Structure 1
């Protein structure tokens, strides 16, 4: 007769215990979006203002990947309108750029979910500067102030901050850290 099955050291198919992530709640998503919004509109020093990333977009994209039903296009549009009002820009500039970024991320979501935070950062790196460029181009088209192309650097900073931001938000939801490995491989 055979005895009890011996452990082979392999991981269980279904996460258990501490590895089981709490599902994000609407309150958690909107509270983190509000914190991202507040970080973006803080009174940063004027000399470094062009390097300040769009924290609200960073958090929005995180939730687009991990909880798309809780951060849909409508939330992106509303957050963009709030950002336009906070920056004193024509209504719709950030709203449209956030919706475009959200749409692209939602199209890539299934692919992005398989990568570690570093892999996601590489895939998302073009989205952040392109969002900034879209705001600048739309502002130029509608006669806003002269564009300062240095603001594209904020998109690069946002891409560089993806890994730490993803780590913090993963801890908030109880998701296990996936910094090095591709899931399933």
Structure 2
């Protein structure tokens, strides 16, 4: 009898800890955004490349919130109001502190301000783009035979449903995946 009670207590404790952990993970850790401004009129993209669809066009001088950048600081995850997307870092000026003049986003500036290196993945896509006309087309933009949303060397050519791909696709973490062959769609 005491073994069952003790086991039941332990299971309830583990279940309770799991609920607390799940609520923490679901809520997510709040990431502080760094204030910034757009240098010029620029497209806010659904991913870190001009291959991704435009979410909205950001007017020059618009106030942004910068949540992080790719590890090489070439593209950053920003928000214009409640709209999230990716912008090339060269079009962002961050505001280092209240009253300070904005400075162009570079790796050194980002590191000095504590702007995190973040990854682009399907979870980001699913969180921010549900309901957009292109939402269901993740593989078109980021699938194994997409035209390199983050960086691409080589080409994909399709004819009569058969696609040939030769070259390398570079992912958001900078890793390179070489894909060759024929895919029939």
| Fold match (TM-score > 0.5) | no
Higher strand fraction: Structure 1 or Structure 2?
2
Structure whose CA Rg is larger: 2
TM-score by length of 2: 0.28
